[in-house]
Structure 1
C-alpha cells in the first residue's frame, strides 16, 4: 500500500553556526536535503534516495543573504510545500 507523507514547512527558524567542529553520528541518518537545487521539480536527498517533490515552485534563494549556502523559500500564500512518497511495509 502506498501512502504519501507531506512535509509542510510553514514556519520560521534560525540556524546558529559555531566555530567548533562537531562530530555527528551518521549511521542512523535516513535523509539529508540541502535544498540547494537552482530550479527543479525534485529536491535531492544527499544521503539516500528519499527525494522530495517540489509542489507549486518553492523559490530558491542564493543571493548571499543566507547563513550557509543556498536556501529554499516557502510562501504560505502560494501553498508551496515539499512532499515525499511514503511506503508502508
Structure 2
C-alpha cells in the first residue's frame, strides 16, 4: 500500500535481484509525500533514507524530520501492486 502512516509512497527503486517474495532488502530511492508537512521528497541517502539490516528502511522527512521505519514486506507489497515502482499520482 502506498500510505505507510507518515508517508505516502509515489515511487520506490530497489537494488535489482535483492528481494524475496516477502521482503525487499535494499532500497535505492524513494519518492514520497510526508503526511505531516506535505513536503514531496526524493530521498536516496542517509539520514533521509537508511536501509535496515535484514530488510526495510527508515524514511525521514528532510523538512519536518518526521521519521518512520518501513518493513521490507511493505516495500514488497508496494512493488507487487505497482510493478513499475510508481503509483499514478
TM range (shorter): under 0.3
Larger radius of gyration: 1
TM-score (ref. length: structure 2) = 0.26
Give the structure with the larger helix fraction. 2
